[in-house]
Structure 1
Amino acid sequence: MEAIASSFKRIVSDENFLEVPFFQRKYVWKKEQWEQLFDDLKASVLSRKEHFLGSVILKRNSGNRNFANIIDGQQRITTFSILIKAAYDELKDEQKKHFDPLLIEDYTDNDPKIKHCRVDRKIYTQIIQGVYSSGQKNEKNLKEGLLDCLEYFKIRIKEIDDVFDFLKFITDKSKLFVKVNLESTEDEQKIFDSINSTGMPLNATDIIKNALFDRMIKISDEEYALDLYDKYWRNIFEHDDKCLQFWDSQITTGRIKRSQSEIFLHAFALIIGIFDTDKHSLSDLSSVFKTYIQNKSKEELEDFLVLLAKYAQTYQKLPQITQNILFDFDEYENRFFHLGYCFGINSFLPLVLFLKQNLEEDEYKKALYLLEMTVLCVSETKNYNKFVADIISNLQNNLKNTYIYIREQIKKYYVKFFEHSQIEEWLNNIENNDAKVVLFWIELYRQREAKDYKDKTGLCYIYTLEHLAPQKWQENWSDIFKNEEEADKFIYKIGNMTLLKGRFNTALQNAAWTDKLNGNNKYKHYIKKYADLIINKELLNITQWNKATIEQRTVKIINDFYKIWNVNIFLEENNGSNQGF
């Protein structure tokens, strides 16, 4: 790797031409970015101080032609070159010759120095060659796209008194970029991670896509590769803005945010057996795929793309958990993914994707129920990745007894967590987040069972957790609890907790029971006001909240817990007929 501060002139002069691979995304910068770029450069020229625009990562072609692929920085380089073209058109003829090499490749019939991606190549070429159809738009109407970008800069360049000096400064006199040269054998993602101070990793998806279709071009031809790209990649990952937004949306994995596309590709790599959980991490994702495809034949790569597309379509059908979802108890997939979301567990995603792709719905539902209880009850998560990889590997060629196999594997590794004593110890001294999740689904379960709630449309996960006997109990609850130790024993039982829309003010949180229940004209919020939930309705006729009522309600909630999550599945020897929901 070679990284050096460079002017635009240095970047384009070191190669015969620069190429944006045909399968890279279209130009997406908009007016906001154009305005920022021009304002920064204008200020830089006026002050005669350099302004850093970012890094450009180039990868030298391994063949005989002297050119480089633009791996990262396509958007800023494209925008910068269009600004140059807009300024170039304002120069006198004798001045233009100094900037021709920045726009046009030497010894060609007016070919652009930058060969753009397939989607934008035609219009970009027309812009650089000056044969575009100018719209003569008003600046207010310029929003996006390559032509709008050109028109915007044509308007803004009128602000510059000496365009020739402006161009000299921004193209040659200023080292505006950090140019990173990669050799053909170097891994783009690892290099990018090591130089990027922001900690945001280069998207492995684009690197994998580039490697896939670069390989396909080399072993077939560009037309064949284009056809496969359209059918099995663009149509799945890039066919419209909504699709792009989905795959670009971020998920937090550990301490790092990764895009949906990277999370999917990791799951897919694990499913097909090329990702070793003992050796690889997410930062190795691109190199894992590149190693896998480097010796594949044309037919093997096409089969690979077909399978990739099938799994990607299945992945898109998995629930996406947000605050606005209306949850219903019987929507089992939403329930599973909501539990994973609340407990911060996504290690089971590859296995869930594999099961959804390969099982009939009834079998998939039963298997997901086993994993749901594991997410909920098992607190040792460090070996989940290995556990999931082993199950997938063993199920690849035999899905006949999937439910039984998964159940036995869970029993083998985690049976102690399903013991009633373990679960009841947890529910009798439970943390707020855990209690909120459990109470939410118990409420939905009770609504399903209650005749009065048959027409309910579900609940959003918008509640706050309230301790009925408060954590600060000394002022109004000293007749209930003798000391701190006794208070803690009851306050943190799940039976002493409920869900409310909004949080009580501090005075009411610590108030006596009758005030918390009825308000007594002193408080705006109180329990009776939020009695639309069944778990709150049962409180309305309780005149005194004490240790006995806390204990009774805890037992009742634990019984409902076992009705929903039948952990006996993992404890009994002959339990095939009792499979829960």
Structure 2
Amino acid sequence: MIKSVANARVFQLLSPQDTVVYAIPKYQREYAWTKQEWDELCDDILEEDGSDSGHFLGTIICINRTSNANEENLLELVDGQQRLTTLSILMASIYRFLTDHSDQLDADGRFDLDSLGRQLVLKDPVRLRVRPQIQNSNYDDYLNVLKTSGLNVKAPTVKFLGNRRIMKCYNHFSDRLDQLAGPKSSVKPVLELLGRVKRAILVKLEVESTADAFTLFESLNNRGIPLTPIDIIKNSLLAAADKKRNSGLTAEAVFDQWNALLGDLGDDYKTQERFFRHYYNAFKAELPNVANAPIATRSKLIRIYEKLITTDLENRLEDLLFCGQIYKRIVGNLDSDEPRNSLDEALADLSRVQGAPSEALLLYLMAYQDDHDLTEPMLRSITETLTSFFVRRNLTGDPPTNMLQRLFMSMIDEVSTKAGSEIVDAVKARLKEEASNDKAFYAKLVGPLYNENADVTRYILVSLAKATMTKETYRDLWERDGKHFKWTIEHILPQGLNLPKEWVTMLGGVTQASAIQQQHVHRLGNLTITGYNSTLSNRSFHSKKIRKDAKGNYVGFKNRLPLNDDVVQATEWTAVEIDERTEKMAKQVLKIFPL
């Protein structure tokens, strides 16, 4: 598996006398090191004891991809890109500093400067010694770093160059060199640093194939950014593709398909990981058997996908892409120009009530929609039932979290032999059997609901508001203004510790007011929806009714939402009013979320 092992100094890895170059393949992650790693690398080199031993910087793994040794020796850098890229950026900043202060250099110093330039860029023709991959403009940014340092390279004009990490790294090292050189900009300490960089040691492991590289890569614990299970699944796909190169399936093609899949899943890592768990759980009966993996947990995810990928790469990849397109709809990652219907709104509601554990069931049903004679209205009905289930479940805690995945996997088994309305009925019956009954649900609804689950509480309030809306009075209560919802939960009786004087008087004095606040402030009847206004909560009851924004629009209780009609009509707000409104709203919630 390992072709060669060498303890090499940086000066040898990038020797001015040879034509070895290091290319980072496009499927590698983008440059990810930040100030912490930059400083650790620089400090480690500076703290070297000055002996000839050199500071050990870790391991790099390469595959020899040379096609014409007369032109250059091309090594594909599979591991170590963060360190080697950062080292070359540090060297470029040293090159800039020494060039700017070349009048201080003697003959040896000028020779070192010329050698340093060739360690970064080969001539005739001009070629980079380290070649970052193209993601997030890494390659173009690095070209700009070399050009800025004074080397003779052509660099494209790119937007927001200074906002990305590669140029930030260069500027950071340039500042550190200025500090190191002192007020007189002495080249001596910078030349000493260059000597330490050149003496630093890396272990270079050269392997024969991508498969060998990834196997070795996963077994080493280097200083780079830790790999996630999703990274390792990607690497397993690429390694498997590399083994099948003769079949026409290349690592590059798989990488493009992988990016298409992540485009469907979105940027959120938790969503990506959830998809891979749900895929296995949804289709486990059809997939190759994975020993001791009855359910896909985070700890078993890597082992599961190594088995699935090595067993049948082509079909597995095709199936993942197909299911990724379905999951894109389930999680609401549709493009702005893609049409949405009532099923998409139902799926959005399920997400709002934290119904992610049921996505395996939906993935199965939507993947086999035609085979099981399921119409979109049927899928919407199932999704709405799931929403009712999770409103109840996420307030009562029943069934417990550790039972949810197994519940939905067993439901997949149950409906796999059914079709159409039989499936709808079976899902409803099973969820009713598993969910908390009305009595337990009602007990939570009349308690300190907001403390139980603020997100589900908001969903309940929005649902109550929507139930009384007409086409003429419709408001999108999920609309956002930047990071904030335009419509937010408001505690009618404020939840802050220092109640304003008006509230203390209304509630019967300090002691009584404090007791009422502690017992009632988070109950459903004390909650409503208002326009976002950070200054609303601590005002008097009357002020909160009539509060307006800068444009003259009501953002207090007189915001024309029928949900607030009884609050507006009330002349005072005490425990009596909160009790009455809580009971009324709780009964309405039971009707909106039946099981």
Q: What is residue 244 of structure 2 aligned with on the other side?
A: 219
Q: 1:100 to 1:223 in 2, by over 3 A?
A: farther
Given the alignment of the two structures, is residue 386 of structure 1 paired with residue 406 of structure 2, yes or no? Answer: yes
Q: Does the CA contact (< 8 Å) of 1:213 and 1:229 recur in 2?
A: yes
Question: How far does the alpha carbon of each residue in 1:185-244 deviate from its partner, in whole angstroms, 9 at most, with x for none?
Answer: 96866865xx88x9x85222222122112112213339631463265224443xxxxx59
Q: Please give the TM-score of this superposition, normalised by the length of structure 2.
A: 0.63
> For 1:78, which of 73, 81, 85 is the aligned residue?
85
> CA contact under 8 A between 1:27 and 1:145: conserved in structure 2?
no
| Alignment map for 1:171-570 (pairs within 5 Å) | 171-173=198-200, 202-221=227-246, 224-226=249-251, 228-229=253-254, 232-237=257-262, 243=263, 247-251=266-270, 260-273=271-284, 281-294=297-310, 296=311, 300-319=312-331, 331-340=345-354, 346-359=356-369, 360-378=375-393, 379=397, 380-395=400-415, 400=420, 401-412=422-433, 414-415=434-435, 417=436, 419-432=437-450, 433=454, 434-447=456-469, 450=470, 452-454=472-474, 459-460=479-480, 461=485, 462-468=487-493, 476-478=506-508, 493-500=523-530, 501-502=532-533, 508=539, 517=545, 530-545=558-573, 549-567=577-595
Residue 214 of structure 1 aligns to which amino acid in structure 2? A
Shift of 1:53: 12
Distance 1:176 1:338, change over 3 A: farther
Secondary structure, aligned partner of 1:210: helix
| Counterpart for residue 577 of structure 1 | none
Q: Partner residue of 2:10?
A: 9
- TM-superposed deviation, 1:169: 0.7
Q: What is the letter of the counterpart of residue 219 of structure 1?
A: K
Q: Kindly state the Cα deviation for residue 302 of structure 1 after the two structures are TM-superposed.
A: 1.5
CA contact (8 A) 1:270 1:350 kept: yes
Structure 1 residues 184 and 398 mapped into 2: Cα distance closer, same or farther (>3 Å)?
farther
Q: Deviations over 1:19-43 (max 9, x none)?
A: 777452375469x87x994x88778
| Residue identity in the other structure for 1:169 | R
Conserved 8 A contact 2:277-2:297: no
CA deviations on 1:468-523 (whole Å, 9 max, x unpaired) are: 498978753249x9999998776654223323344667864xx6x6676569xxxx
User: Which whole-Å CA distance do the structure 1 matches of 2:544 and 2:166 have between them?
Assistant: 64
CA contact under 8 A between 1:29 and 1:144: conserved in structure 2?
A: no
After TM superposition, give the deviation of residue 104 of structure 1 in Å.
11
- Structure 2 distance, partners of 1:564, 1:465, is 21
Paired residue type of 2:392: C
* 1:313 shift after superposition: 2.6
In the TM superposition, residue 337 of structure 1 has moved relative to its aligned partner by: 0.9
Determine helix, strand or coil for the equivalent of 2:529.
strand
Query: What count of residue pairs does the alignment treat as equivalent?
Result: 502
Amino acid aligned to 1:216: A
Note if 1:25 corresponds to 2:47: no
Cα offset, 1:373, TM superposition = 1.4
For 2:387 and 2:157, how far apart are their aligned partners in 1?
Answer: 57
CA shift, 1:319, in A, is: 4.2
TM-score w.r.t. length of structure 1: 0.64
For the structure 1 residues 363 and 177, does the alpha-carbon distance in structure 2 shift closer, same or farther, using more than 3 Å as the test? Answer: farther
The CA distance in 2 between the partners of 1:53 and 1:144, in whole Å, is 31
Question: What's the secondary structure of 1:202's corresponding residue?
Answer: coil
Question: Unpaired runs of 5+ in structure 1?
Answer: 1-5, 238-242, 252-259, 322-326, 568-581
- The match for 1:255 is none
| Contact 1:468–1:498 under 8 Å retained in 2 | no
Secondary structure of residue in 1 paired with 2:363? helix
Find the aligned partners of 1:142 and 1:488 in 2 and give their Cα distance: 53
8 Å CA contact retained: 1:82, 1:150:
yes
The change in CA–CA distance for 1:421 and 1:234 in structure 2 (over 3 A counts) is closer
SS of residue paired to 2:560:
coil
Amino acid aligned to 2:432: K
Answer yes or no: is the 8 Å Cα contact 2:392–2:441 preserved in 1: yes
Select 1:161's aligned residue among 187, 194, 200: 187
Partners of 1:81 and 1:165 in 2: how far apart? 17
Superimposed CA distance per residue, residues 316-374 of structure 1 (whole angstroms, 9 cap, x where no aligned partner)? 334459xxxxx99992222111111xxxx532333333334443422221121121112
SS of 1:453 mapped into structure 2: coil
**Partners of 2:570 and 2:163 in 1: how far apart?**
63
SS of equivalent residue, structure 1 residue 553: helix
Distance 2:86 2:491 in 1: 54
Q: Distance in 1 between matches of 2:163 and 2:577?
A: 64
Between the aligned partners of 2:518 and 2:42, the Cα distance in structure 1 is 65
Percent pairwise identity? 14
CA deviations on 1:70-119 (whole Å, 9 max, x unpaired) are: 555423323424654786898889759998998899xxx99998787698
Letter in 2 for 1:9: V
Matched, 1:134 2:164: no
Coordinate RMSD, CA, aligned: 6.0
In structure 1, C-alpha distance between the alignment counterparts of 2:439 and 2:279, rounded to whole Å: 38
Shift of 1:445: 2.7
Provide Cα deviations, 1:286-340, integer angstroms capped at 9, x if missing partner. Answer: 232112223x3xxx3222111111222333334459xxxxx99992222111111
Alpha-carbon distance in 1 for matches of 2:411, 2:571? 53
Partner of 1:240: none
Cα–Cα, structure 1 residues 236 and 8, in superposed 2: closer, same or farther, change >3 Å? farther
Identify if the C-alpha distance between structure 1 residues 334 and 98 changes in structure 2 by more than 3 Å, giving closer, same or farther: same
Residue identity opposite 1:407 in structure 2: K
Query: Residue 441 and residue 318 in structure 1: after superposition, are their counterparts in 2 closer, same or farther (change >3 A)?
Result: same
Judged with a 3 Å threshold, the aligned counterparts in structure 2 of structure 1 residues 451 and 303 are, in CA distance, closer, same or farther, namely closer
